[in-house]
Amino acid sequence: MRQPLVAGNWKMNGSLASVRELLAGLKEGIGDVKVAEVAVCPPAIYIPETQAQLAGTPISWGGQDLSVHESGAYTGEIAGPMLRDFDCKYVIIGHSERRTYHGETDELVAEKFSAARKSGLVPIFCIGETLEERESGITEEVVARQVDAVIEHCGVEMLGEGVIAYEPVWAIGTGKTASPEQAQEVHAFIRSRVAKSSSDVAEGLRILYGGSMKPDNAAELLAKPDIDGGLIGGASLKAADFLGICTAAND
Ligand code: PGA
């Protein structure tokens, strides 16, 4: 049985005051979450505050990106061991915003996957097609290429130590959610792709859905057999909405 994971990707949002308020709200409501594992990924500068507030609660936390290097002359970068210093469990890698605005390639993302594992972090590895790619009928080709890059670089066993987040780019922040059927179809394809290398890894691998997931559409997405949780952007910035998604996994 794969335990669902609901992870919040706060992106570059918030202030110290709003982060404190959000964390307080999460702490207050987390008791209602019965099934899902819950994590939040704040902007790096708010990780110490997040650790201070969430230590000892069932909520874990993580980074939104990491460097492929462990230390050195890489201005502006954050290394895996630094995230571990603040007890981060997870790190998001390969988010479409990093791929689009920072030119991250499949190969670089694969290197980040192994850098994360080397530091003891669990990568939340994001993949997904653009609208143009979906309309050209190459969704499966695109996600297969993205997954294969990690399998080739890291090996399938290491892939199995992470989590995949399928996020159709056209659904991110747009209010357009993939229908549960559309999402399930791609999730099942991703699992079958991994199964070509190892059926055991494929069976145990959590594949999250991301893209305009909200309290009112979470339950039907989470009910699908190959959807094992969510990576939540906009709706993770309000405690009630995020907890609403987390509790949708209760039944
Ligand atoms: P969204 O973002 O929930 O705001 O669509 C999801 C993500 O980018 O991880």
Give residue 92's pLDDT band: very low, low, confident or very high (50, 70, 90). very high
Q: How far is the CA of 81 from the centre of ligand 1 (A)?
A: 26
Mutate to test the pocket of ligand 1, among 127, 172, 217 (most ligand atoms within 8 A of CB): 172
Give residue 251's pLDDT band: very low, low, confident or very high (50, 70, 90). confident
In ligand 1, the atom with minimum distance to the C-alpha of 235 is 3
Domain count, the chain: 1
CATH of the domain at 170: 3.20.20.70
3-state DSSP of the chain: CCCCEEEEECCCCCCHHHHHHHHHHHHHHHHHCCCCEEEEECCHHHHHHHHHHHCCCCCEEEECCCCCCCCCCCCCCCCHHHHHHCCCCEEEECCHHHHHHCCCCHHHHHHHHHHHHHCCCEEEEEECCCHHHHHCCCHHHHHHHHHHHHHHHHCHHHHCCCEEEECCHHHCCCCCCCCHHHHHHHHHHHHHHHHCCCHHHHHHCCEEEECCCCHHHHHHHHCCCCCCEEEECHHHCCHHHHHHHHHHCCC
Q: How far is the CA of 10 from the centre of ligand 1 (A)?
A: 9
pLDDT at residue 118, as a whole number:
98
Rounded mean pLDDT, 195-206: 98
Q: Token pair 């992106």 is at which residue? A: 11
Residue span of the structural domain in which 19 resides: 5-248
Give residue 177's pLDDT band: very low, low, confident or very high (50, 70, 90). confident
pLDDT at residue 224, as a whole number:
97
Ligand 1 pocket: which residues have CB below 6 Å?
A: 9, 167, 172-173, 210-213, 231-235
Is 80 exceeded by the pLDDT of residue 85? yes
Whether the CB-CB separation of 37 and 4 falls below 8 Å is answered with yes
Tokens of residue 46, six digits: 């708010």
CA-nearest residue for atom 9, ligand 1, is 233
CA-nearest residue for atom 1, ligand 1, is 233
pLDDT, one tens digit per residue, over 2-53 is: 999 999 999 999 999 999 999 999 999 999 999 999 999 999 999 999 999 9
Taking all residues of the chain, what is their mean pLDDT, rounded to a whole number? 97
CA-nearest residue for atom 3, ligand 1, is 233
Q: How far is the CA of 75 from the centre of ligand 1 (A)?
A: 27
In ligand 1, the atom with minimum distance to the C-alpha of 9 is 9
pLDDT at residue 114, as a whole number:
98
Q: Which residues of 89-119 are buried (b: 16+ CB within 10 A; e: fewer)?
A: bbbbbbbbbbbeeeebebebbbbbbbbbbeb
Q: How far is the CA of 242 from the centre of ligand 1 (A)?
A: 12
Find the distance separating the first CA and the last CA of the chain, reported in whole Å.
15
Give residue 176's pLDDT band: very low, low, confident or very high (50, 70, 90). confident
CA-nearest residue for atom 2, ligand 1, is 233
Tokens of residue 5, six digits: 């994971």
In ligand 1, the atom with minimum distance to the C-alpha of 172 is 5
Among the listed residues 243, 46, 41, 210, the one whose alpha carbon sits nearest the alpha carbon of residue 126 = 210
Tokens of residue 25, six digits: 């709200």
Give residue 175's pLDDT band: very low, low, confident or very high (50, 70, 90). confident
Whether the CB-CB separation of 210 and 172 falls below 8 Å is answered with yes
